[in-house]
Amino acid sequence: MVNLNAKYQDLLRYIENKAPFIPELSIILGSGLGNFAERITIVAELNSGEIPGYPLSTVEGHSGKIYFGEYSGKKIIIFKGRFHFYEGYTLSQCVLPVFITYKLGCRKLLITNAAGSSNPGYKPGDLMLVSSVNGINIKKELTELTGLASPEGKDGMLRFPSPELNSLIRKAADDESISLREGVYWYNKGPSYETPAEVRMANIFGADAVGMSTVHEAIYSAYLGINTSIISCITNYGSGITGQKLNHEEVIETAALISTRFENLVKKIISGLGS
């Protein structure tokens, strides 16, 4: 089992020294929410290069940053520039934002991502609250990280997704008149998109969306006892659903189109914290 405490001593000391507060909510930004830090009041900002042991992002335009900020009187931490397993990071590097969240004493985490729909009823532009995940592709690595084979907290309680945080998210969506889908997110290690047969399989197995991140973050987070929820931004139909070729530009374009709605939803979620 990997000992993150030992491995990331210097990193933790650095971040704990710089942290201006204990955040009430941690947010991992995915596509569609990438500029969210601009919507809040930033109190402190750390660049990945200055944090000892923090990986540097390999994806262009995905500069790694950690923001401490405030919105509606609530204190939040934001992780921008996600580490994907397919980029060659170890799983312990991929879950660092979760680990930092935990070590700072924050016990609420909202994970966001872009995903393709494997459910033909879910269309590009939809936002989906995740009800469960399929991480079968990454079980071995996860077990090395947690020593467990299931998303259970240290006390054995299944904690994902957080019922309280999910309720808050549904209420926020309601208040903002944003229609929110709910469904299962299926993990593909990537980096290539799924084949049409894989999307069909995901659908038959009950998945509504497919993507290449999030699941390890969520399972590790639940294992640590953090209240964890996920919102997926559906950016495209999964491969084979429409017969059109998938492309990364479509994902970026749709994410940009959804971003205002997504940001409004997250702002409302933050406002509702603790009420």
Q: Which one is catalytic: 19, 26, 31, 227?
A: 31
User: Which residue's CB is nearer to ligand HPA, number 6 or number 245?
Assistant: 245
> How far apart, in whole angstroms, are the C-alpha atoms of residue 51 and residue 81?
14
Rg over CA atoms, the chain: 17
> How far apart, in whole angstroms, are the C-alpha atoms of residue 60 and residue 39?
22
> How far apart, in whole angstroms, are the C-alpha atoms of residue 38 and residue 259?
12
Q: Which one is catalytic: 213, 221, 229, 232?
A: 213
Q: Which one is catalytic: 24, 87, 152, 176?
A: 87
Hey, what are 202's tokens?
């995901």
Q: Report the candidate in 88, 17, 96 with the shortest Cα–Cα distance to residue 54.
A: 96
> What is the contact surface with ligand HPA in residues (CB under 6 A)?
114-116, 188, 193-194, 210-212, 235-236, 238, 246, 251
What is the closest distance, in whole angstroms, from the C-beta atom of residue 151 to ligand HPA in the complex? Answer: 21
- Given a contact cutoff of 8 angstroms between Cβ atoms, the answer to whether 216 and 142 are in contact is yes
What is the closest distance, in whole angstroms, from the C-beta atom of residue 121 to ligand HPA in the complex? Answer: 16
Q: Which one is catalytic: 221, 227, 236, 239?
A: 236
> How far apart, in whole angstroms, are the C-alpha atoms of residue 222 and residue 216?
10
- Given a contact cutoff of 8 angstroms between Cβ atoms, the answer to whether 217 and 111 are in contact is yes
User: Which residue's CB is nearer to ligand HPA, number 97 or number 211?
Assistant: 211
What is the closest distance, in whole angstroms, from the C-beta atom of residue 233 to ligand HPA in the complex? Answer: 8
What is the closest distance, in whole angstroms, from the C-beta atom of residue 202 to ligand HPA in the complex? Answer: 10
> How far apart, in whole angstroms, are the C-alpha atoms of residue 114 and residue 255?
7
User: Which residue's CB is nearer to ligand HPA, number 198 or number 263?
Assistant: 198
What is the closest distance, in whole angstroms, from the C-beta atom of residue 86 to ligand HPA in the complex? Answer: 10
User: Which residue's CB is nearer to ligand HPA, number 29 or number 273?
Assistant: 29
- Given a contact cutoff of 8 angstroms between Cβ atoms, the answer to whether 122 and 234 are in contact is yes
Residue 31 known to be catalytic: yes
Residue 62 known to be catalytic: yes
Q: Which one is catalytic: 84, 118, 128, 220?
A: 84
User: Which residue's CB is nearer to ligand HPA, number 179 or number 244?
Assistant: 244
Residue 128 known to be catalytic: no
Q: Coil, strand, or helix at residue 77?
A: strand
Active-site positions?
31, 62, 84, 86-87, 114, 212-213, 236, 248
